[in-house]
Chains A and B, each alone.
Chain A
Amino acid sequence: MEGKVKVLLSKLGLDVHNRGVITVAKELRDAGMEVIYIGNSLPKEIIETAIQEDVDVVGVSSLGGAHLTLGGLLIEQAKQKGLKDRMIFLIGGVFSPADAVRLQQIGFDGVVSPGAAREEIASSIREMVSSRIVR
């Protein structure tokens, strides 16, 4: 694969809990990826930045319960802009097992739960990105 994997990370909406997403941001950067973290943003801003920065991966963090509502809006807008086939969409945070399944059904490529290991996250991102590029 050519160049660095480019990742956009964001807190979804007004969620106040950012320990997880900052940890992931640092870890992905340490793993050699280019990471852009834009803090608290709504789906529309996230999609706009993703297009503008032409990223490979969009990761959003939600621990405040709005994963289905705002996560759903994010995927909807990604589809409208034709990004779903170009970019990987990941969501991390606090979800019930049923909601984790639901998030995959609505179109997230990966769902990251509390306790996910550093290597797990980085390597699954690499795999997803390379399989998408090959295809």
Chain B
Amino acid sequence: MAERTKTTKEILEEKLAGRERIPLYSPKALDKLRQEFDQWKNTVVREEDQKNWQVTPHTILGSDIPREMLYTPLSNPDFDYTQDLGNSGQQPFTRGIHANMYRGREFTMRQLTGFGAPEDTNQRIKFMLAHGATGINIIFDLPTIQMYDSDEPISTGQVGMSGVAIDSVDDMDLLFKDIPLDKVTASLVTHYPSNTAILFPMYLVLAERRGIPWDKLAGSVQNDITMEEVVRSGPEYIPPQDCFRTQCDNIEFIRQNVPRWNFITYNGYNLREFGTSGITEMSVAVANAIGTVEEMLRRGHDVDWVAERLAFFWSPANDFFEEVARVRAVRRLWYKIMRYRFNAKSTRSLWMRCHVQTSGISLIRQEPLNNIIRAAYHALSAVLGGVQSLHVDSYDEAYSVPTEQAALLSLRTQQIIQAETGVTEVVDPLGGSFYVEALTNDIETRILDEVDEIEKMGGYVATIEQGWLHRKITEYFYHERSNIEQGDIRVVGYNIHKAPGELPPIDVFRYPEGVEQKQKARLATLRERRDNEKVNSALTALREACKRKENVVPYTTECARAGCSEGEMFKVFKQAYGLWRPPTLW
């Protein structure tokens, strides 16, 4: 990236500078409005409201964007419909990536599932599908996420907690028992490039075992360096450059071999939940995406070959209109970047496709039933923003993993929005609102400005290495905490309208017993039955590929075929790359 002198913002400014704008409002109408507006403001509006014309809402995970009391065409006087919005399914896709949006395809109801042993999660998946879920979304347990085997000492007491335990292809088989891999779309929440390179091949080898060709598989992985190097607390990290290369290795391998699979989901969500504004959430994901496309071009690939399958993941939080506007803003910005910076040709490449999960950190322990309402508003804002798929958090998540009943309620929340409220009948229903359009413009500018800041520091990987992002996060959440404590951010049932007395009793989830022993026994059987010579030679080949900096995924796939466990593969990464010490957070 060193040779690049122009940032994305500079390129866009240059390429868009000459475009003729055709404003929707006539100058005459605007003049008349301006006069009337000034008069109204001076005579009708109370003095104190005039003084506080702009206020800045302070909300959990908010972006502190000032708001005016009333928005009019004057807020956006050179509004050019075709250039700024276009019809749905048309450039710049502000109104949605499809012409008919939810009339054509309902948003996918993809509730996150994972706990206990693979067979426990298999039951919950079937339960959710039986109740109308339309996608699968798997979360792994902490040892699996951090790439340790269930029988390693470091995994003690944590197997099957806050996700499902997966050690090898055999576990993957149990997880997807009776589920036709060629008929469902599965989101595997492999947060990190490293664990994507290890776990996704296990899924592929499972398909092989079942005689399903890889081109019949559809779904997504996460595969995001942000998750491995920034939004994570863990004992061992590989260096950012190796992590980024692995991210790109996954993309390359999956694109070549599993054509319908979404090989990366830029995860703004967990970054924001960790502690950033909605602006930083998106600017970081976009900067990472720009860096990825650049790297893939450097590897000799065509831009459309990569860009058609990029996906994003956002966290809709409390500031309702900001959330609607954010999704619209980043969709337009992404279009501009792909079209004008990367010269993408395929329409699909120009689409910012996204999954959202309602904000978890916005949920409050006190009076947990209030969280049902919070999550419903989060979900509604996402739907009004035109997202592709949804997970709604459960009200009991400030206590534990959701109970079956709470998980069902989250699914029902989505179904009620879809079937009962009528909001899906009209595409981009808030489009054209003076307020929402002004906010959309403002947010787009702010995201691009932060992308610019990142690029000027030397690009996204450099901002990780230098600790810029780590510092930004801690400053944000420390500040947010003070705002809550001082009451600047109001939280019902917590710092305002507090209920007296004890917390009400709540029925919480209980993890199944004996998962650790079960997984340990399975690993013992695996290690006994597999051809250990094959295992060793597969691991050796992987080690050599790591050292040559060759694409590692063909080798991890061979390891999965040979019956290697996750921890065995991660050990190879650690030995080959060495460990990295992330910046201190406080």
**A44-74 toward B: CB 8 Å interface, digit per residue (1/0)?**
0000000000000000000111100110110
| Chain B residue, CB-CB nearest to A41 | B235
| Chain A residue, CB-CB nearest to B585 | A22
Given contacts A26-B586, A64-B142, A73-B157, contact A96 B233 (CB under 8 A): no
B233 in complex: contacting residue of A39, A42, A117, CB < 8 Å: A39
B503 in complex: contacting residue of A26, A70, A97, CB < 8 Å: A97
Which residues of the partner chain A approach B477 to less than 8 Å between Cβ atoms? Answer: 19, 22-23
Say if the beta carbon of B153 comes within 8 Å of chain A.
yes
Say if the beta carbon of B485 comes within 8 Å of chain A.
yes
- The answer to whether A65 and B162 have CB atoms under 8 Å apart is yes
Given contacts A26-B478, A96-B508, A114-B398, contact A13 B586 (CB under 8 A): no
Which residues of the partner chain B approach A117 to less than 8 Å between Cβ atoms? Answer: 485
CA distance A65 to B505 in the complex (A): 19
Which residues of the partner chain A approach B494 to less than 8 Å between Cβ atoms? Answer: 115
Say if the beta carbon of A89 comes within 8 Å of chain B.
no
Which residues of the partner chain A approach B478 to less than 8 Å between Cβ atoms? Answer: 23, 26
Given contacts A16-B142, A65-B511, A70-B157, contact A22 B586 (CB under 8 A): yes
Least distance between A22 CB and chain B CB atoms (Å): 5
Say if the beta carbon of B127 comes within 8 Å of chain A.
no
Least distance between B578 CB and chain A CB atoms (Å): 18
Least distance between B568 CB and chain A CB atoms (Å): 17
- The answer to whether B158 and A70 have CB atoms under 8 Å apart is yes
Say if the beta carbon of A77 comes within 8 Å of chain B.
no
**B463-477 toward A: CB 8 Å interface, digit per residue (1/0)?**
000000000001001
Which residues of the partner chain B approach A118 to less than 8 Å between Cβ atoms? Answer: 481, 485
Say if the beta carbon of B143 comes within 8 Å of chain A.
yes
Among B145, B232, B364, B481, find the residue whose CB has the most chain A CB atoms closer than 10 A: B481
Within 466-522 of B, Cβ neighbours of A (below 8 Å) are at 474, 477-478, 481, 485, 494, 503, 505-506, 508, 511
Say if the beta carbon of B400 comes within 8 Å of chain A.
yes
| Chain B residue, CB-CB nearest to A15 | B142
- The answer to whether B399 and A13 have CB atoms under 8 Å apart is no
- The answer to whether B162 and A73 have CB atoms under 8 Å apart is no
Say if the beta carbon of B461 comes within 8 Å of chain A.
no
Given contacts A65-B400, A115-B365, A115-B494, contact A16 B146 (CB under 8 A): yes
Least distance between A92 CB and chain B CB atoms (Å): 12
- The answer to whether A66 and B233 have CB atoms under 8 Å apart is no
Which residues of the partner chain A approach B235 to less than 8 Å between Cβ atoms? Answer: 14, 39-41
Least distance between A45 CB and chain B CB atoms (Å): 10
Which residues of the partner chain A approach B511 to less than 8 Å between Cβ atoms? Answer: 65
Which residues of the partner chain A approach B397 to less than 8 Å between Cβ atoms? Answer: 94
Say if the beta carbon of B155 comes within 8 Å of chain A.
yes
Question: How many contacts between A and B, using CB within 8 angstroms?
Answer: 105
Say if the beta carbon of B274 comes within 8 Å of chain A.
yes
A94 in complex: contacting residue of B143, B398, B586, CB < 8 Å: B398
- The answer to whether A113 and B157 have CB atoms under 8 Å apart is no
B162 in complex: contacting residue of A11, A37, A64, CB < 8 Å: A64
Say if the beta carbon of A17 comes within 8 Å of chain B.
yes
Say if the beta carbon of B43 comes within 8 Å of chain A.
no
- The answer to whether A114 and B142 have CB atoms under 8 Å apart is no
- The answer to whether B233 and A40 have CB atoms under 8 Å apart is yes
Say if the beta carbon of A108 comes within 8 Å of chain B.
no
CA distance A50 to B339 in the complex (A): 57
Given contacts A69-B157, A97-B506, contact A16 B366 (CB under 8 A): no
Say if the beta carbon of A98 comes within 8 Å of chain B.
yes
Say if the beta carbon of B275 comes within 8 Å of chain A.
yes
Categorize the interface residue count of chain A. 35 or more
Least distance between A47 CB and chain B CB atoms (Å): 14
**A75-98 toward B: CB 8 Å interface, digit per residue (1/0)?**
000000000000000000011111
CA distance A16 to B586 in the complex (A): 17
B161 in complex: contacting residue of A25, A64, A96, CB < 8 Å: A64
Within 1-52 of A, Cβ neighbours of B (below 8 Å) are at 11, 13-19, 22-23, 25-26, 29, 37, 39-42
CA distance A11 to B161 in the complex (A): 15
Given contacts A22-B474, A115-B494, contact A96 B158 (CB under 8 A): no
B234 in complex: contacting residue of A40, A63, A113, A114, CB < 8 Å: A40
Which residues of the partner chain A approach B313 to less than 8 Å between Cβ atoms? Answer: none
CA distance A114 to B396 in the complex (A): 13
Least distance between A27 CB and chain B CB atoms (Å): 8
| Chain A residue, CB-CB nearest to B516 | A69
CA distance A42 to B154 in the complex (A): 7
**B257-294 toward A: CB 8 Å interface, digit per residue (1/0)?**
00000000000000000110000000000000000000
| Chain B residue, CB-CB nearest to A61 | B233
Which residues of the partner chain B approach A95 to less than 8 Å between Cβ atoms? Answer: 399-400
CA distance A15 to B143 in the complex (A): 9
Given contacts A69-B156, A96-B400, contact A13 B142 (CB under 8 A): yes
Which residues of the partner chain B approach A64 to less than 8 Å between Cβ atoms? Answer: 142, 158, 161-162
Please list 22 pairs of residues, one from A and one from B, whose beta carbons are closer than 8 Å in the complex, sorted by A's number.
A11-B233, A13-B154, A14-B145, A14-B235, A16-B146, A19-B361, A19-B477, A22-B586, A25-B586, A26-B478, A65-B158, A65-B400, A70-B156, A70-B157, A94-B397, A94-B398, A96-B508, A97-B503, A97-B506, A114-B364, A118-B481, A118-B485
Given A13-B142, A15-B158, A94-B400, 6 further pairs, Cβ under 8 A: A15-B142, A17-B233, A22-B585, A39-B235, A65-B158, A70-B158
Closest 8 CB pairs of A and B: A69-B157, A65-B161, A18-B233, A96-B508, A14-B142, A66-B158, A70-B157, A40-B235
